[in-house]
Amino acid sequence: MNVPDGTLVRSRVVGDPRDPLAAALDRRLTGYAVFEPQEALLLDGGSRGIVTFRDGVPELVYYTGTDHGGPTALADLAMPGPYHVELYRLGPDELASIGAHEELVVPPGMPAERLAGDPALAASTRRAAPGDRELSVADDSDESGQTEPGAVEAFLADEAKIDAIKTQAREEAQRRAEEWGFE
């Protein structure tokens, strides 16, 4: 997904993705957020999640680490914090220049539910969505009627991510033990 350069309005390291999602909603942000998860920060992976917003309501999601979009990208992006998050403002025409990518579309409340685990924020986001995008949790299912797995379930099912975190924790513990003179 190619996004135009926007005007940076906020840049923070956050422990909870709820904060930038709530800030985008409160500011009625038209633009995008770039989420850089801890894994990318520590391992120089360069993977980032991009969430576009129109008037504070999420529209598109893309994750560079797996080249997935939509709900699958949210599951890929959902990992333990912290995250470095930047919010960018775009004009409506600039946002429209990204194009309509059906494979990247998410229901309005899904990022709050899947990334932040915050049903209240998800409900607020759905209420703020225009009538043509206002979808309920029941609308977040696939064609077979099965609801897609939540971020936690998807994360726990990804053995490679779990192994990477274990390896990273082991290396960090060993490094600290050496710094402190433990054997």
Please report the pLDDT score of residue 99 as a whole number.
73
The amino acid occupying position 172 is: E
Question: In which band, very low, low, confident or very high, does the pLDDT at 151 lie, cut at 50, 70 and 90?
Answer: low
Please report the pLDDT score of residue 41 as a whole number.
52
Greater confidence (143 vs 21) lies with 21
Percent of residues, the chain, with pLDDT higher than 90: 38
Per-residue pLDDT tens over the stretch 57-89: 999 999 998 889 999 999 888 877 788 999 999
CA-nearest of 33, 97, 93, 92 to 63 is: 33
Please report the pLDDT score of residue 16 as a whole number.
86
Q: Where are the beta strands (DSSP E) in the chain?
A: 7-14, 31-37, 49-54, 57-63, 68-69, 83-89
Per-residue pLDDT tens over the stretch 97-111: 887 788 899 999 999
Q: What is the mean pLDDT of residues 123-129?
A: 91
3-state secondary structure of 68: strand
Greater confidence (140 vs 5) lies with 5
**What is the residue extent of each domain of the chain?**
7-180
Distances in whole angstroms, Cα of residue 129 to Cα of each of 28, 49, 175: 11, 21, 48
Q: Is the pLDDT of residue 15 over 50?
A: yes
Q: Is the pLDDT of residue 154 over 70?
A: no
Q: What are phi and psi of 12, to 5 degrees?
A: -150, 160
Greater confidence (17 vs 161) lies with 17
Greater confidence (154 vs 95) lies with 95
Q: Is the pLDDT of residue 134 over 70?
A: no
45: its two tokens: 């992976």
Q: What is the mean pLDDT of residues 163-180?
A: 80
